Amino acid sequence: MTETQPTPITHRYDFVFLFDVRNGNPNGDPDAGNMPRMDPETAHGLVTDVAIKRKIRNYVAMAKGDAPGYDIYMRDGAVLNVQHRKAYAHFGIEPDTKTKKAPKDKAEELTRWMCSNFFDIRAFGAVMSTEVNAGQVRGPVQFTFAESIEAIVPMEISITRSSVTNERDALQNDRTMGRKHIVPYGLYRAHGFINARLANDARKGTGFSDADLALLWDALATMFDHDRAAARGEMTARSLIVFKHDSDLGNAPAHKLLERVTVSRAEGEGPARGFGDYVVTVNEADLPPGITVEHKI
């Protein structure tokens, strides 16, 4: 835990995040044989907010390592009660796993400690009211599902293996067929919202700071470069357009700002096979008072 806590953010932000995939599966659905997620009515591809947050968490863990204040709460394979016990150990108290209630005189401090030490709790919030109760907090940073600009046409590729699992398979010359799902190309659009009041509220704010915000922008810009895998092919962050409000409550409705970002097909025919097949336009004319546009990518 850091000795002095950074100042929480004081501005609201709304943003558009564009990324694409080429010959990969951006977010497979385990309930559908790991096929790329799709809207069944429009055939537009989907990437869940959970998948985006997972990549942000992985980037922060990689970039910050063991730096104080940047631990990751939702690690792969993490046992959440173990994470909560760290807060109890800091204050030298034992959790009451029978009543599942935090001590009244320490409940707020336990939650504050978790916010101070875990980046993803400061950013996304967490429900920590388990057997080892550390409270719950709403996070200031939220994402929508990402949706592809156009319908995608997933392909199922047959593959074979050159090696076998055991001697019996070798005798039978078993070279089991496998299948791999890919999207030849898809440009995806996600929206994000950062509520400063959920960061800087004196009692319930997470403390999400300007340094945390800068780290979030870095994560969105470069997280795919550290997440290469055969299943995901080439995934690339293409554009991050941020609408910054002068105040923490905001100066304009989010949807009216996000509508200023349009993505259309460039001239040409046939299916899109690259980012150059699209044109991204941001209408920065006559912006509402108190709004500025920042292009992070």
- Alpha-carbon distance 131 to 79, whole Å? 12
- pLDDT tens figures, 86-104: 999 999 999 988 888 998 8
Residue 120's pLDDT is what?
Answer: 97
Domain that holds residue 252: 13-62+138-295
Residue 77 lies in a domain: no
Mean pLDDT, to the nearest integer, of 265-283?
A: 92
Contact between 192 and 17 under an 8 Å Cβ cutoff? The reply is yes
Report the domain count for the chain. Answer: 1
Mean pLDDT, to the nearest integer, of 200-210?
A: 91
- pLDDT tens figures, 211-252: 999 999 999 999 999 998 888 879 999 999 999 999 999 999
Q: Which residue has the tokens 């939220």?
A: 142
Residue 270's pLDDT is what?
Answer: 87
Residue 229 lies in a domain: yes
Residue 2's pLDDT is what?
Answer: 43
163 pLDDT higher than 90: no
Residue 3's pLDDT is what?
Answer: 47
Q: Considering only CA atoms, which of 70, 179, 58, 52 is closest in space to residue 115?
A: 70
Summary mean pLDDT of the chain: 92
- Alpha-carbon distance 152 to 26, whole Å? 12
Please give the full DSSP string across 137-162, using - where no structure is assigned: EE-SEEEPPEEEEEE---EEEEEE-S
Residue 259 lies in a domain: yes
Q: Which residues contact 32 (CB under 8 A, 6 or more apart)?
A: none
162 pLDDT higher than 80: no
Q: Give CA angle at 82 (77, 85), nearest 5°.
A: 160
Residue 18 lies in a domain: yes
Residue 148 lies in a domain: yes
Residue 86 lies in a domain: no
Q: Which residues contact 189 (CB under 8 A, 6 or more apart)?
A: 16, 17, 18, 146, 147, 148, 149, 263
Residue 100 lies in a domain: no
Residue 179 lies in a domain: yes
